[in-house]
Amino acid sequence: MTALISSTETPLVQHPWSADDERWMLRALELAAQAEAEGEVPVGAVLVRDGECIGDGHNRPIGALDASAHAEIQALRAAGAHAGNYRLPGSTLYVTLEPCVMCAGAIVHARVGRVVFGAADPKTGAAGSVFDTLVSPLHNHRVQVQGGLFADLAGDQLRRFFRARR
């Protein structure tokens, strides 16, 4: 069973994963593998609107020499360029790891409609695990958040990566 995390303004709803949700998360996992192959933490993200990928990305902080080059930010930048606008209403962001505070803030400012993530991040997650940035009722934009899609696959990918570095 999956849970939709939501602000007090949006009703809490239970949803099964759709075939499209699974398809796009599998693509995000492929991008995470690409990040890992480049020596980056394996996180991938895909931004979809109207059934079309409008932006994707994977972690690149080391290669880009840019602390903000997280997968979500890469996907938002690509989608903004594709759409000709930094605001992306009606879009869904699929990401293999629960967004951090920085990414959550960017997601809210971009007016992303929904975030679907794989593994929860018990250290820096900003969709309810540690911080409530994405689901805060204080924002003027409400993001629907659904976590746990392919959480085992995403979590295993991250654990293997960090185990290999220890």
Q: Which residues are annotated as a binding site for Zn(2+)?
A: 70, 100, 103
Contacts of 111 (CB under 8 A, 6+ apart): 87, 88, 89, 141
Q: Which of 36, 40, 72, 98 is catalytic?
A: 72
Query: What 3-state DSSP class applies to 158?
Result: helix
Torsion of CA 38, 56, 113, 50, to 10 degrees: -150
Decide: residue 114, CB within 10 A, 0-12 exposed, 13-18 middle, 19+ buried. middle
Q: Indicate the angle between helix axes 71-83 and 101-109, nearest 10 degrees.
A: 20
72 is catalytic: yes
Alpha-helix runs per DSSP H in the chain: 19-37, 61-64, 71-83, 101-109, 151-165
Of 51, 50, 53, the C-alpha closest to 30 is 53
Decide: residue 36, CB within 10 A, 0-12 exposed, 13-18 middle, 19+ buried. buried
Q: Which residues are catalytic?
A: 72
